[in-house]
C-alpha cells in the first residue's frame, strides 16, 4: 500500500528572530529529507516570528522580513514539501498564515479562521480572520491546512471535508497548562471523527516569557484514536507514516510516547521555561536567596536542572531569627547540588538602616515594617550580585503567597523571574518530593517536613497569619482561577472568616502582583497576561 511519510517538527523558536528561525526551518527540513526520507515536514504556528510575537506584528518592517524569509526557504529548494507558519499582509490586512513550499515555489496558503481572544490569547488585536478552506495535493492526497484554534471548532473541519480533503494538517502554538495534553487529544479526536479523516497535529515546544509550549505532537486516525505521539518538551523532528489508498488515508499504530504524569509535566514545564528565559535573554547564570525553606529549595533544584550547577549561585542571608536548621539545610542542599554558595549576614545592613530611621520611628511600635526591612536588605544584596556578575535574580514566591500578598515589595519580590509564581504551596511540596525521586535526594527531608516560616520574627509560622495551605489553596483556586464569589465559595463548605480574609487579601494585593517578576504559567488562570483586574476598584466582596 502506498504511504505518506510525514515529519513533525517540534521547533523551539526565538520570538522576533526571523532570520534565526528561518535557518532552523531549513536545517530541520534538510534533516527530515536526508535522515527520515520524509515527503513533507510540518512546522508549528507562526514559525518564522515565533509565538506569540505580540506587538512585533505592528513593526513597519515585518512584511519585508517575512518576504525575505520565505524567499530563503524557496531558494533552498528542499527535496520535500515544507509547511510553515508566518504572518502575511494582503491588501493591507494581516493574517495568521500557513504556507506550503514545494520545489522552490509557494503552492498553497491558508489563513487562520478562528482567532482566540481569551486567557493568554489576543489574536484579534493583530489579525483578521480567514474564511476559505485550503486543500492541496500532497503525494496525491487531498490535504487541508488549519491552524491551532481552528481545530477547537467544528466549522473549519466541515469546510475542509466539503472541499474534498482526506487529511488534515494542523499547525499549533498551544501553551501548556495542567491536563492540557488530554484536552487537546480529545478535541483532535472529535474533529477527526467529524471529518472522517486523520489529523496531524504539530505543536511548538519551548518557553516564551510566562508561557511554555510542551510539544506532544500527535497523529489521530479517522476513528479518533491517537496512533502517534511525539515526546513532550523535546525539540526534534519526528517521523509518522500514513497509508494511502483511493478511498481513504489510514494511520497504522506506531510510536506512542507516554503522556507525562502531572508532577512530571509540571516540573518539566518549569525547568524548560526557566532555561529558555535565562538563555534567550542571554544571562550568564542565576542567583537566588537560599533560605532553608521549601520554595527556595525547589527553585534551586530546578535552576540546576535547567542550567547546570556551574551557572547557579545560592546565597544564604541570615539574621537574628534565622534558625540553625535553616542555615544547615541551605548549606547541605548547596553541597548536594554542587553550586557556588555563600552566607552573607544582613545584620550590619539592617542595623545601619534602623539607625538612620530612628528619628522617623520615634514613638511608633514595632510592626511588619521591621520584617519587611529584613527582606529588603536581602533584595539589595541579590541585586548587587546580579548587576556585578550578569546573573538573573530568581525570586521564589509561590502562587499562594503571590495571591494574598505574603511577600515584600523590593524585598523577596526583587528579581527578574519567579518560576513558582503559578505554583500553589501544596504543589510546591509535592514537586519537591517528586524531584527527590529522580535520583539523589537533593532537597533535605527536613526542608519538606517542617512547617513553613518566613523567619522574620521569633517563632514565626506562615499559618499564624494564613489559613492552612491545604485549605487556602482550595479557596484561591475557586476565587482566582474560576472567579467564584466569596458567597459561592462559602456555600461549598469553607469557613466564612477564612474565605473573606483570603478574598480580601487577593483583592488588595493586586498592586503588588503588577510589580512582581514574571513567572511560568501552569494553570488555566495564572497571575499575569490572563488575569487582569484593576488595582483601583470599588468592587465589594459578596455575591
List CB contacts of 274: < 8 A, sequence separation 6 or more. 207, 302, 303, 306, 307, 394, 417, 419, 520
- The answer to whether the beta carbons of residues 126 and 91 sit under 8 Å apart is no
Task: Give the closest residue to 214 by CA, choosing from 164, 135, 169, 271.
Answer: 271
Q: In terms of C-beta density within 10 A (0-12 exposed, 13-18 middle, 19 or more buried), how is residue 356 classed?
A: exposed
- The answer to whether the beta carbons of residues 115 and 95 sit under 8 Å apart is no
Q: Which spans in 39-107 are helix H?
A: 62-75
DSSP string, 322-366: --HHHHHHHHHHHHHHT-EEEE---HHHHHHHHHHHHHHHTT---
Do the strands 205-208 and 199-203 form a parallel or antiparallel pair, or are they unpaired? unpaired
Q: Residue 18 and residue 343: Cα distance in Å, rounded?
A: 44
463 is catalytic: no
Catalytic residue among 114, 134, 148, 377: 148
List CB contacts of 243: < 8 A, sequence separation 6 or more. 1, 2, 3, 4, 249, 250, 251, 252
Q: Residue 499 and residue 502: Cα distance in Å, rounded?
A: 5
List CB contacts of 27: < 8 A, sequence separation 6 or more. none
- E-only strand ranges, 215-356: 218-220, 226-229, 236-244, 249-250, 285-289, 312-316, 340-343
- The answer to whether the beta carbons of residues 175 and 213 sit under 8 Å apart is yes
List CB contacts of 144: < 8 A, sequence separation 6 or more. 133, 134, 135, 160, 163, 165, 167, 168, 169
The helix or strand, by DSSP H or E, that contains position 96, with its residue range, turns out to be strand 93-102
45 is catalytic: yes
Q: Residue 422 and residue 426: Cα distance in Å, rounded?
A: 12
Q: In terms of C-beta density within 10 A (0-12 exposed, 13-18 middle, 19 or more buried), how is residue 150 classed?
A: buried
Task: Give the closest residue to 41 by CA, choosing from 180, 217, 192.
Answer: 217
Is the dihedral angle over the CA atoms 281, 287, 289, 292 positive or is it negative?
Answer: positive
Q: Residue 396 and residue 406: Cα distance in Å, rounded?
A: 12
Catalytic residue among 24, 88, 109, 112: 112
The helix or strand, by DSSP H or E, that contains position 386, with its residue range, turns out to be helix 368-389
Phi, psi for 468 (deg, rounded to 5): -50, 140
112 is catalytic: yes
Catalytic residue among 24, 45, 161, 371: 45
- The answer to whether the beta carbons of residues 370 and 473 sit under 8 Å apart is no
Which amino acids are annotated catalytic? 45, 112, 148
Amino acid at each position: 500500500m502506498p504511504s505518506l511519510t510525514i515529519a513533525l517538527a517540534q521547533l523551539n523558536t526565538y520570538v522576533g528572530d526571523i532570520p534565526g528561525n528561518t535557518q532552523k526551518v531549513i536545517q530541520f527540513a534538510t534533516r527530515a529529507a536526508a535522515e527520515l526520507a520524509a515527503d513533507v515536514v510540518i512546522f508549528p504556528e507562526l514559525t518564522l516570528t515565533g509565538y506569540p510575537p505580540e506587538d512585533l506584528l505592528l513593526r513597519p518592517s515585518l512584511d519585508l522580513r517575512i518576504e525575505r524569509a520565505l524567499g530563503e526557504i524557496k531558494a533552498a529548494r528542499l527535496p520535500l514539501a515544507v509547511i510553515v507558519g508566518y504572518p502575511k499582509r494582503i491588501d493591507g490586512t494581516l493574517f495568521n498564515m500557513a504556507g506550503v513550499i514545494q520545489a522552490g515555489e509557494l503552492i498553497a496558503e491558508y489563513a487562520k479562521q478562528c482567532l482566540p481572544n481569551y486567557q493568554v490569547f489576543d489574536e484579534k488585536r493583530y489579525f483578521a480572520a480567514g474564511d476559505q478552506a485550503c486543500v492541496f495535493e500532497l503525494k496525491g492526497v487531498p490535504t487541508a491546512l488549519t491552524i491551532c484554534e481552528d481545530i477547537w471548532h467544528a466549522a473549519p473541519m466541515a469546510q475542509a471535508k466539503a472541499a474534498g480533503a482526506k487529511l488534515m494538517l494542523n499547525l499549533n502554538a498551544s501553551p501548556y497548562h495542567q491536563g492540557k495534553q488530554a484536552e487537546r487529544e480529545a478535541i483532535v479526536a472529535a474533529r477527526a471523527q467529524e471529518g472522517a479523516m486523520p489529523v496531524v497535529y504539530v505543536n511548538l515546544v519551548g518557553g516564551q516569557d510566562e508561557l511554555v509550549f510542551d510539544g506532544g505532537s500527535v497523529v489521530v486516525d479517522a476513528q479518533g484514536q491517537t496512533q502517534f505521539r511525539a515526546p513532550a518538551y523535546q525539540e526534534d523532528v519526528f517521523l509518522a507514516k500514513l497509508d494511502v489508498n483511493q478511498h481513504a488515508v489510514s494511520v497504522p499504530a506506531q510510536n506512542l510516547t507516554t503522556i507525562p504524569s502531572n508532577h512530571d509535566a509540571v516540573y518539566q514545564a518549569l525547568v524548560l521555561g526557566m532555561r529558555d528565559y535565562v538563555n534567550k535573554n542571554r544571562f550568564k547564570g542565576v542567583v537566588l536567596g537560599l533560605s532553608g525553606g521549601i520554595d527556595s529549595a525547589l527553585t534551586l533544584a530546578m535552576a540546576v536542572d535547567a542550567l547546570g550547577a556551574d551557572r547557579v549561585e545560592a546565597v544564604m542571608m541570615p539574621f537574628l531569627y534565622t534558625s540553625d536548621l535553616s542555615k544547615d539545610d541551605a548549606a547541605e542542599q548547596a553541597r548536594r547540588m554542587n553550586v557556588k554558595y555563600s552566607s552573607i549576614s544582613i545584620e550590619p545592613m539592617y542595623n545601619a538602616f534602623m539607625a538612620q530611621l530612628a528619628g522617623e520611628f520615634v514613638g511608633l511600635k514595632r510592626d511588619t515594617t521591621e520584617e519587611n526591612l529584613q527582606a529588603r536588605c536581602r533584595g539589595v544584596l541579590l541585586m548587587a550580585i546580579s548587576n556585578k556578575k550578569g546573573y538573573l535574580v530568581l525570586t521564589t514566591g509561590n502562587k499562594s503567597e503571590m495571591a494574598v500578598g505574603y511577600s515584600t515589595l523590593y524585598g523577596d519580590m526583587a528579581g527578574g523571574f519567579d518560576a513558582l509564581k503559578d505554583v500553589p504551596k501544596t504543589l510546591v511540596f509535592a514537586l519537591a518530593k517528586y524531584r527527590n525521586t529522580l535520583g539523589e535526594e537533593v532537597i533535605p527531608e527536613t526542608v519538606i517536613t517542617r512547617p513553613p516560616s518566613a523567619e522574620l520574627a521569633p517563632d514565626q509560622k506562615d499559618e499564624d497569619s494564613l489559613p492552612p495551605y491545604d485549605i487556602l489553596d482550595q479557596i484561591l483556586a475557586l476565587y482566582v482561577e474560576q472567579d467564584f464569589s466569596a458567597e459561592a465559595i462559602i456555600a461549598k463548605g469553607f469557613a466564612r472568616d477564612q474565605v473573606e480574609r483570603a478574598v480580601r487579601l487577593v483583592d488588595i494585593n493586586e498592586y503588588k502582583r503588577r510589580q512582581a517578576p514574571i513567572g511560568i504559567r501552569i494553570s488555566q488562570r495564572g497571575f499575569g497576561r490572563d488575569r487582569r483586574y484593576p488595582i483601583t476598584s470599588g468592587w465589594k466582596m459578596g455575591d
